[in-house]
Structures are given as structure tokens and as C-alpha cells.
Amino acid sequence: MAPASKADRKAALDVAAWMFNIVTSVGIIMVNKALMATHRFTFATTLTGLHFATTTLLTIIFRWLGYIQPSHLPFSNLIKFVLFANLSIVGMNISLMWNSIGFYQIAKLSMIPVSCLLEVVFDKIHYSRATKLSIVVVLVGVAICTVTDVSVNAKGLIAATIAVWSTALQQYYVHFLQKKYSLGSFNLLGHTAPVQAASLLILGPFVDYWLTNKRVDKFDYSVTAVFFIVLSCTIAVGTNLSQFICIGRFTAVSFQVLGHMKTILVLTLGFFLFGREGLNLQVISGMILAVLGMIWYGNASSKPGGKERRTYSLPVDKSQKHGLLSEAGDRDDKSSSSLLRIDDES
């Protein structure tokens, strides 16, 4: 009964983690869309810096209250993580500016194969045929409902490549660091968020000026715009935390595959909140196919052999094996003899 209840509890926590991530991610996308499209606050890199500053403040409060225990993360790993994470943020913004929407979406979809490659190379993960096919179904479904015009140029391709690889490496590192150093989600955020906040708030205004030709300090900060900025920063704490929780509990690949549910929800909410002119049979069929692929992936990857780490053991020669057994037997005999002597002496 205990194992069953333990499995049920894990399943409930898994669902809660995914729901937390979906709600906060979709929420922040909707708020940021209103902030940037309606109020013309187009300083995405600086806004991300504010997100991490808010997250840093919360981790400091939680550490002061005793909810976050002291932990250690080597400085070299911290710098590598922040480098990948910041390259991901800036790379995605530049990729969106230099590429068509269609190629930008294709680049985002390619994160799944890259994440799979990282797990195969570094973690020796093996995927079953059903798991691989389910990933393909998800990719095709999302591509059908998001990819429209596709045009490629040299600098856009470079930006997209940097964005894809840095994002995949950042998400892989979230899982890797949590497992290697036994860090909780808040512990890892407590290490990484301050450095990301400082670096993005320093570099963000310059990057945003380069991307938009506008200065963040010259923006007209109305009461409504400030409210949406504060709301975005508040939701971002949950988004950052839920991302670390989900990748820590699962893997970067699962986070990417099942994370496309957020894409479907954002498209659906966008049609209802910002107009339905893009809603057609092609988009609906793509959404349905993607959701079916996600369900298939969840089922296939959870089965034995669906997604598992391969272990390699060195072959042992039979003569060596017998020799080891005889040595072990000799040691047992010696141990028994010494025990008998102790008994005799007593």
C-alpha cells in the first residue's frame, strides 16, 4: 500500500508542477503581450533583468525566513550557467528580430532534437522508437499551427543557432546542477538569479537600444504601464521557479515536449483575446495533432525502456571471476577462523 501511495503522491506533485508552470508561463506571455503591444514597452532584455531582480529579492526573503538552506555551487558552474542563460535570452530576441516568424518558430522547435542529443551524449539516455515517433508528432503538430512564412538569412541563422544551443544547454544545466549538487529549485535560483539580474540590468538597456533604437530611460512610465511591469515581474518569479521545478523533476526534453502545451494555450487565448482572424482548420488540426503527440510521449516515455539511462559494464573473464570467488572464499574462511579463535579465547 505504501509504494502505491508514494507513486500517487509523486504523480500528484508532477501534475501540480506542470500546472504551475503552464499557468505562470501562459500568464506572463499574456501580460507581456499587453505590455509590449498595447503600452509599447519593447525593452525585453531589461524586463527580463527586472524579472530576475524580483526573483532575487524573494530568494533573499525566503533565505532570511529559513525556507532556503545554505548550499554550495562552484563559481565556474555558476558562470557557465549564467552565460548560457543570458545568451539564450539575448539570442532569442535577436533571432526574432533578424528572422521571419516562421523560421523563428522552426528554430524553437529544433530545441527538442538538440536537447535529445545532449541527453544521449552526456547522460547516455536511450529513447525507444515510440518515444522518438511521439516527439516527431509533436514537432509536426506545432509546426503546422505556428510556422507560416519561412525566409532565411546568414546573420539570422547564426543568431538562431546561438539561441537554440544556449537555451538547450541552459535547460540541461538546470537538471544537471540540481542532481549533482543536490540543490532544490529555490536553492539554484538563489545562486543564479542575482548574477543574471545584475548582468541583464547592466547590459539590457544597451541590447534593447541596439534592437529597438529606443532608450528605456526615455519611456513614458504611465501608471498602467508600471502596473503591468510589476505584474510581469511578480508572475516571472513563479515562471522561473516552476521551470526549475519541472526540469529538476523531469528532464529538459520532457520540459520542451510537454511545454508545447503552453504554445497551444497561448494560441487559443490569443485568438479569443486579441482576435480570431488566424484561427482556421490548419491551425486547429495542428493543435490536435500536437496534443495527441504529447499524450503519446507521456505514455511512451513512462514505459520500461521508453526513456532510460544506459549503463555499460566491463566484461569479466570467467577465470578472473572464479579467481575472485576463490579469493572471496579464502577471506571468508580466514574471517571464520579468526572468529573461532576469538570464541575459544573467550
From the number of C-beta atoms within 10 Å of its C-beta (0-12, 13-18, 19+), residue 140 rates as middle
User: Residue 196's closest CA among 80, 85, 103?
Assistant: 85
The three grid cell numbers given for residue 38, joined into one nine-digit string: 498595447
- Mean pLDDT: which of 15-19, 153-157, 175-179 is highest? 175-179
Span 251-279, average pLDDT: 74
Please write the tens of the pLDDT for every residue from 88-140: 999 988 888 888 777 888 888 888 899 999 999 998 888 999 999 999 999 99
> 201 falls in which pLDDT band (50, 70, 90)?
very high
The three grid cell numbers given for residue 147, joined into one nine-digit string: 510556422
Please write the tens of the pLDDT for every residue from 227-238: 999 999 999 999
The Cβ of residue 343 has, within 10 Å, a number of other Cβ atoms equal to: 8
Span 266-285, average pLDDT: 72
What confidence score (pLDDT) does residue 325 get?
Answer: 41
What confidence score (pLDDT) does residue 340 get?
Answer: 36
Average pLDDT, the chain: 83
The three grid cell numbers given for residue 168, joined into one nine-digit string: 538547450
**Does position 146 have pLDDT exceeding 90, yes or no?**
no
Q: Compute the C-alpha angle 292/281/22, nearest 5°.
A: 45
What confidence score (pLDDT) does residue 33 get?
Answer: 85
CA distance between the termini of the chain:
48
- Mean pLDDT: which of 111-115, 252-256, 281-285, 312-316 is highest? 111-115
The C-alpha atoms of residue 296 and residue 176 are separated, in whole angstroms, by 26
The C-alpha atoms of residue 163 and residue 22 are separated, in whole angstroms, by 22
**Does position 345 have pLDDT exceeding 70, yes or no?**
no
Please write the tens of the pLDDT for every residue from 21-70: 888 988 898 899 889 888 889 999 999 999 999 999 999 998 898 888 88
User: Residue 96's closest CA among 49, 132, 44, 134?
Assistant: 44
What confidence score (pLDDT) does residue 329 get?
Answer: 47
Please count the helices (runs of H) and the strands (runs of E) in the chain: 12, 2
The dihedral over CA atoms of 60, 61, 66, 67, expressed in degrees to the nearest 10, equals -90
**Does position 272 have pLDDT exceeding 80, yes or no?**
no
What confidence score (pLDDT) does residue 286 get?
Answer: 87
**Does position 147 have pLDDT exceeding 50, yes or no?**
yes
> 74 falls in which pLDDT band (50, 70, 90)?
very high
What confidence score (pLDDT) does residue 344 get?
Answer: 44
Q: What is the pTM of this model?
A: 0.79
From the number of C-beta atoms within 10 Å of its C-beta (0-12, 13-18, 19+), residue 181 rates as middle
The C-alpha atoms of residue 107 and residue 160 are separated, in whole angstroms, by 6
List residues bridging with 126 in a β-sheet: 308
**Does position 275 have pLDDT exceeding 70, yes or no?**
no
> 273 falls in which pLDDT band (50, 70, 90)?
low
Span 149-167, average pLDDT: 86
What confidence score (pLDDT) does residue 45 get?
Answer: 93
Q: Left if phi > 0, otherwise alpha if psi is -120 to 50, otherwise beta: which for 74?
A: beta
Name the 3-class secondary structure at 307. Answer: strand
What confidence score (pLDDT) does residue 204 get?
Answer: 94
What confidence score (pLDDT) does residue 256 get?
Answer: 85
